[in-house]
Amino acid sequence: KKDGKYTIVTDRWQKFSNVALDEETLDTLSAYADEFLVHGVDVEGKRLGIDEELVGFLGRWSPIPVTYAGGATTIADLDRIRVAGAGSVDVTV
């Protein structure tokens, strides 16, 4: 997150763009993709668990299939992704 908003990050998650990850952005980008892969970079590799807020947003906002990555370390985390994403967010570990 940057300034309280999920933001698209590039260059191995080192450079924040000026593009917020929100419903409008996902809708616009969906015209150019068949699926999204979204990394929860704030939790990636830190063994902090998943970013449930982000997963919830993805479940509500994404008009195309979406896969979430980041922070999953237990089966319980996978269950939280299923619940937070309303069954519409896949996961990769």
Residue 75 falls inside a structural domain: yes
What is the structure's pLDDT at 14? 86
Q: Report whether pLDDT(45) > 80.
A: no
Q: What is the pLDDT of residues 65-93, one digit of tens each?
A: 999 999 999 999 999 999 999 999 999 98
Which position has the token pair 């619940």?
83
Mean of pLDDT values over 1-9: 91
DSSP string, 1-65: -BTTB-EEEETTTTEEEEEE-SHHHHHHHGGG-S-EEEE-TTTTTTT----HHHHHHHHHH-SS-
Q: What are 10's strand-pairing partners? A: 15
- What would the two tokens of residue 35 be? 């699926």
Residue 15 falls inside a structural domain: yes
Q: What is the pLDDT of residues 15-32, one digit of tens each?
A: 999 999 999 999 999 999
Prediction pTM value: 0.91
Confidence of residue 13 (pLDDT cuts 50, 70, 90): confident
What is the structure's pLDDT at 22? 96
CB 70 within 8 A of CB 39: yes
* Pairing assessment for the beta strands 66-69 and 36-39 based on DSSP bridges: parallel
Residue 1 falls inside a structural domain: no
Number of domains within the chain? 1
CATH number of the domain within which 71 lies: 3.20.20.70
What is the structure's pLDDT at 46? 79
